[in-house]
Each structure stands twice: as C-alpha cells, then as structure tokens.
Chain A
Amino acid sequence: MALAVGCRARPGKARDNKTGSWRVFKPVFDQEKCSKCGTCRTICPEGCISENAEEFFVPDYTYCKGCGLCAEECPKEAIGMIQEEK
C-alpha cells in the first residue's frame, strides 16, 4: 500500500491495516493435541481464527496480533506461543 499524503483514506481502508505486524509472540497450533472444540475461534478478539476443510482451527497471521488468549484458554494446551523475529 503506497503512502497517501496526510494519511488520507477512503472508507473501508481499515482492512488494509495488517495488524499481524504488531505480533511479538506467534501462536502455533498442535493438531495432534487439538480436540476441535473451537474455543480458540470463540475467544479470538481479532476474529482471525477459522475452521479449515479438515475441521481444524487455524489463525490468519496477517491479522493475528499475538495476544495469546487462544493459547491461554485452549483446554488441551494445544497452542504454544513462540517468539518471532521480524
């Protein structure tokens, strides 16, 4: 996205803000432990966790801020948070 003078924007441009760049810790999902309960999707404040074709839950790292709520709430402790370097 090229800079607009004065950071001016048309409606809907908030979608262009890739909040994934805020992340320090990255959630990593362990499908061996996952029971497919969906708590992570329910709890995610960014709404960026969705169900894939195999009914596993996967985060969208473009928007995941790395808050770690999914890892904290996962009943199977199937989500680990690892530090990321960018």
Chain B
Amino acid sequence: MMQMIEGSHAVAEAVKFCRPQVIAAYPITPQTHIVEALADFVANCELDAEYITVENEFSALSACIGASAAGSRTYSATTSQGLALMFEVCFNVAGMRLPIVMSIANRALGAPLSIWNDQQDSISLRDSGWLQFYAEDNQEATDLHYIAYRVAEDPSVLLPAFVCFDGFILSHTYEPTDLLTQEDVDKYLPKFTPKERLDAADPISFGMYATPDYYHEFRYDMDRALKESKAIIREAGKEFGRMFNRDYSAMVEGYRLEDADTAIVAMGSICGTTKDAIDEIREEGKKVGLLKVRVFRPFPSENMAKALAHVKRVAVLDKNVSLGAKGALALEVKDALYSSGIPVKDYIIGLGGRDVRKKDIKAIVELVEKGQGDIFYGLRREVL
C-alpha cells in the first residue's frame, strides 16, 4: 500500500514484516527513528521479538551474534561512530557466517564530529565480509531489507548484510513508499532455519581458532561465498520483481546509458539528483548516462565492465575517500575497466553532508570531458 512516510519509519515497517526474533541496537543519529519505531512495535505487541537494550553498539552487535548463533532472525541498525565501534564484531559476525541484517543510515565519521551524510562509515567496512546494498530512495531502502534477509540466510551464502541509505537525505525524508503487507513478505521470505545453532543439548562453538594451516582457507571460503552470492542476489531480486513488480535482479542499473558517451557511476541517493541532471544535460545534446551501483559487496565487476563497454569516459562520484589513495568506488571501477582502456576519473563529493546539486553534476560532466578529475570536487579554497 502506497503511503507518505518518513524513510526511517518505512524501514522500520519493512523490518517488522521480516519478523526478526531478536533486535539489539543502540540509538544514534540519524538511525534513531528506526530503532525507536521498532521498540514501539515490540512494546505494542505488533512485533513478537526480543528487543535487547544495550549500553553501546559493540554490545548491540555482540548480542546479535549470540541471538543469530542460537538460530534467531536477528536485526540491528546503526551509523557512523556506532558502526566504527562495531568494527571488531563485524568481522566476527561474517567469520562465524551469521546472516544478521543491519541498516546503516550513512553518516560521516569523526573527527571532526559530523552528524551529516556521507558513506565513509559502511565503506570503511568493505573488507569485513558483509554484503553491502545501497539504496537510491526510500522505496529501495525498504525493499532491499527483504532481499538482504533472503540472500544472507540462503544456505549457500550465510553472510551478514548492510542495507545502506543516506542519513537524513533518505532517513528523515517523507516519500511516497509502497509498503508490502505481512502476507506478501511471508510469501517472499521463508523462515530462518539454520542447520547448526547454539543448543545446550547438542553443544557447538562458533568461530573457533584456526592455525596458519587453516586460516588462509577460511578467508578464501568467505570470499568464495561472497562472490557466489551474486547469483543468489540476482535470483532474489528477480523473484521480488515477479511478485511485487519491482525488479532488483541487476546489481548495477543503467539510466539513459545505452547510447551514452559519458557515464557517471554513483551509489545511493545521489543517483536521483544525477538522473535529473542527466535529463537536463541531454537537452543540451550531450550523451550522458548513469550507472547506479546497488550492490557494492560483492562487487559486480563483470556487470560493470559490460554496462560501460561502449562509453568514452567515466566519472565516478565517491561520497567517501580512502585517504592517501582515491574514493573506494573509483578504485573498484578502475579495476573493473582496467583492460578496456576507458579513462576513469574520480570526484570526491558531498563529504560530511555537503550538498551535491544538479549544477555540480553538470560541472563534473564538463570536467571529465576535459580529462580533469581524481579530485576533491568543490573545494572551498578560501578556507584552506
């Protein structure tokens, strides 16, 4: 049913329909409205779940480990410093192969303290073994939660997943959003029935230690599972499309890309602005298109190389920076296109909540046409 609803509340509704049995989270701006709404659902008996109140994010995700290992569908949500505090636990969750789903309302990392949006937080955990989905709008942010659980809990995957959406820009924005019903979600998302779980009557330990004879192979096995999850993501996205008319089978999605000379590659809410900018640039006669990255881990290199094979140049918009190198997305795009010889330029944009406007996208298109890039875009040189 279509509703005019705040992003955080739409996500909370979607999570409720996923029937998590255990939620452990700690409130942090701009994620707070999600966990507030879920706490209300549990208190009102709208959702039959254990809501564990904890003293910080480290405890939140640690509690989720126990709950998930005991066989519960488990959920958490966080952002920024909260996610940074979970760093160690994130690697353990993935290593123990626990399919926890966590919403990330993307926010910049301190210092300096910033409560505003960029994607540095989840990007900084790109090597942890979690799947990473990025939403363009609130519709996608809600739908990706159903898909995330379905993929994460698939017996061939058994890896945790972030569902990332830009803090404030999406989390605090009211948009018309089509929320599914409980019956719909029950048909799409089967019960979580792990083969192995913590059980005092049949004891088992998770994440034991591995000597140098085994650790290397454990990491390989996780990498393989993450790469092979691409097929499961495609199938889960396709099935979602068959049932609800919104197809998420593509990990990268083109917009006016078929005949484009210049391609912009981006992730998250900036894709909406970019599409509007492209419509206006096209009226000026320039053939510009967008390739939106919906799944950052596993990284869809093959799909990206195929989708961009015909373009003359690529501009990557990065709402993050791997300090001392480039934006994380640009590094991946350059790797995917390495053998094609297509020039790829990187533009670090919108850090710490700096607005990115249509005119900025237009300016970036002009820069990439001139071969100028690999820069922090829009620097206020007067303050340097």
Q: A-side interface residues toward B, CB under 8 Å?
A: 1, 3, 5-11, 13-14, 17-19, 21-22
Contacts and interface: CB of A to CB of B under 8 A. Distances in A.
Closest 9 CB pairs of A and B: A6-B97, A6-B96, A9-B208, A7-B208, A21-B213, A9-B205, A5-B97, A8-B206, A7-B207
A21 B206 contact: no
B228 interface: no
B214 A9 contact: no
Q: Interface residues of B: mostly helix, strand, loop or mixed?
A: loop
Contacts of B158: 5-6
B209 A3 contact: no
Given A7-B207, A21-B212, 11 more contacts: A3-B218, A6-B95, A6-B98, A6-B207, A7-B210, A8-B204, A9-B205, A10-B203, A10-B205, A18-B211, A18-B213
Q: How many B residues are at the interface, by size bracket? A: 20 to 34
B217 interface: yes
A17 B211 contact: yes
A13 B208 contact: yes
B210 A22 contact: no
Interface string B192-228: 0000100000011111111111100110010000000
A1 B221 CA distance: 15
Interface of B: 95-98, 158, 196, 203-214, 217-218, 221
Contacts, number: 53
A9 B209 CA distance: 10
A3 B207 CA distance: 12
Given A3-B218, A3-B221, A8 B211 contact: no
Contact of B206 (A3, A6, A13, A14): A6
A8 B208 contact: yes
A85 to B, nearest CB: 14
B206 A22 contact: no
Contacts of B210: 7
